[in-house]
Amino acid sequence: MATLLDACAALPSGGPATPFDAHLEDHRDWADGHPAPPPALHRALTFWTRLHGVLSLELAGHFTGMGIDPAQLFAAELDDLAGAPAN
User: pLDDT tens-digit profile of 71-84?
Assistant: 999 999 988 887 75
Q: What is the pLDDT of residue 82?
A: 79
DSSP at 86: P
**Are 77 and 55 spatial neighbours (Cβ–Cβ below 8 Å)?**
no
What's the mean per-residue pLDDT of the chain?
87
Residue 8 near residue 40, CB atoms below 8 Å: yes
Max CA pair span of the chain: 43
pLDDT band at 58 (very low <50, low <70, confident <90, very high): very high
- Supply the pLDDT for residue 14: 67
pLDDT reading at 85 higher than 50: no
In this prediction, residues 40-62 reach a mean pLDDT of 92
Q: What pLDDT score does 25 carry?
A: 87
Least confident of 8-17, 26-35, 40-49: 8-17
